[in-house]
Amino acid sequence: MELWFTEKYSQNCGLTINVKNEIYSERTKYQDIAFFDSYDFGRFFTLDGYMMVNEKDEFIYHEMITHVPLAVNPQIKKVLVIGGGDGGTIRELSRYEHIELIHHVEIDERVVELCKQYLPQTACKLDDERVEAFYTDGVEFVKGKENFYDLILVDSTDPIGPGEGLFTKEFYRNCYKALNENGILVNQHESPYFPTNAKEMKKAHAKLKGIFEICKVYQFHMPTYASGHWLFGFASKKLDPIKDHKKDEWEKFNIETKYYNSLLHEGAFALPNYVIDLLEEA
Ligand code: SAM
C-alpha cells in the first residue's frame, strides 16, 4: 500500500510526497516530531506536520543562511544560532576554521537527539568543539546579552508554537543589543507567496525595520517549502549586504558549495516587484 506525506499550504493546495515508511515519531514537550524515508527527497523530518529538513534540498537553506553573512563580514568569530536543532546551519558554520565559538540555543533537546540518530547528514557537526549547546528558549537566552556576537542566525520554525516569540519586537531589540557594532542578524523570514506566509513576512520586516539601521530581505528557492520561494531577513547595524560584500575574501576560504556563490549572493537581494511592494507596505 502506498504511503503519502501531505502538508497543506492552503485550503486547496499543498505538498505531497510518496514515502517508503515512517521511521519514528513522538510527541516531545514542545511539538510532534516525525522522521520518514522517501523516494525523491531521501530522509526527512517534520515538526507539527510541517516539513523541516530533507536530505535532498537542505543544502540550499543551510548554505544561504550561513554563507551570505560570512561573505559580508568574513571576520565573524562569535556566532549565536537560535533553533536549527537539525544541525545543518552549524555544519555550514563549522567549515570556517576561524570561527571561535558557536552558541547553539535550541528549545527542544529531543530535536537534537533525534537528528543525531536519524539525520547524521545535517547533525554531523553538532559536537564540534566550538559549539556550546543551551537547551532553552532563544527569546529568554538573548535577554541581557550586550555587544557580544558578530552574528545571530535565527533558524526557527514558523511564528506559531515555540517559534512565536522569535518574531517579536522585543526579541529583535534584544538581538540588536546582543550584537557588536559590526553585528548581523539573519532570520527565517517566511515566504512572500501565499497570503498567510506573506502576512508574517511583512510583520517581521516592519518590526526589524524599526530597530536595525540596515534591513534587507533575500530569496532562495526551496522545493519543499510552501510555494518554493522563501526568504531570509538580513539586518545589521552598519554592514550592507551588497556594498560591503567581500567577494574576494570569501572566495579565499575555498569553501565548496552546491548552491551559494558570489554572483548569486548579489542576485538573491534583487527581488521581484510584488515582493518589493509587500515590503514597502510593511
Ligand atoms: N531549517 C528548517 C526550517 O526552517 O524549516 C528547520 C528549522 S529548525 C528544525 C527549527 C527549530 O527551532 C526547531 O528544532 C525548534 O525546536 C526550534 N525552536 C522553535 N522555537 C524556538 C525558540 N523559541 N527557541 C529556540 N529554539 C526554538
Question: What are the start and end residues of each CATH 3.40.50.150 domain in the chain?
Answer: 58-281
Of the residues 155, 240, 244, 248, only one is catalytic, namely 155
Phi, psi angle pair for 29, to nearest 5°: -65, -25
Q: Is the CB of 163 under 6 A from ligand 1?
A: yes
Angle 169-178/195-209 helices, nearest 10 degrees? 50
d(CA 48, CA 200): 18
d(CA 145, CA 185): 14
Say whether pLDDT at 62 is over 90.
yes
d(CA 155, CA 111): 13
Instruction: Looking at the CA of residue 158, tell me the nearest atom of ligand 1.
Output: 4
Say whether pLDDT at 169 is over 90.
yes
pTM for the predicted model, two decimal places: 0.98
pLDDT band at 160 (very low <50, low <70, confident <90, very high): confident
- Of residues 161 and 70, which shows the higher confidence score? 70
User: Following CA atoms 102, 204, 144, 131 in sequence, which dihedral angle do they give, to the nearest 10 degrees?
Assistant: -10
Say whether pLDDT at 10 is over 90.
no
Question: What are the start and end residues of each CATH 2.30.140.10 domain in the chain?
Answer: 3-53
Residue-wise pLDDT tens digits, 174-224: 999 999 999 999 999 999 999 999 999 999 999 999 999 999 999 999 999
pLDDT of residue 7: 96
Question: Which DSSP symbol is given to 163?
Answer: G
The mean pLDDT value of the chain amounts to 97
Question: Which DSSP symbol is given to 146?
Answer: -
Query: Of 51, 107, 160, 231, which is best to mutate to test ligand 1, by the most ligand atoms within 8 angstroms of its C-beta?
Result: 107
In this structure, which CATH number among 3.20.20.70, 2.60.40.10, 3.90.1150.10, 2.30.140.10 belongs to the domain 3-53?
2.30.140.10
Residue-wise pLDDT tens digits, 222-238: 999 999 999 999 999 99
Query: How far does residue 97's CA lie from ligand 1's centre (Å)?
Result: 25
Q: Is the CB of 121 under 6 A from ligand 1?
A: no
Specify the CATH superfamily of domain 58-281. Vaccinia Virus protein VP39 (3.40.50.150)
Residue-wise pLDDT tens digits, 80-134: 999 999 999 999 999 999 999 999 999 999 999 999 999 999 999 999 999 999 9
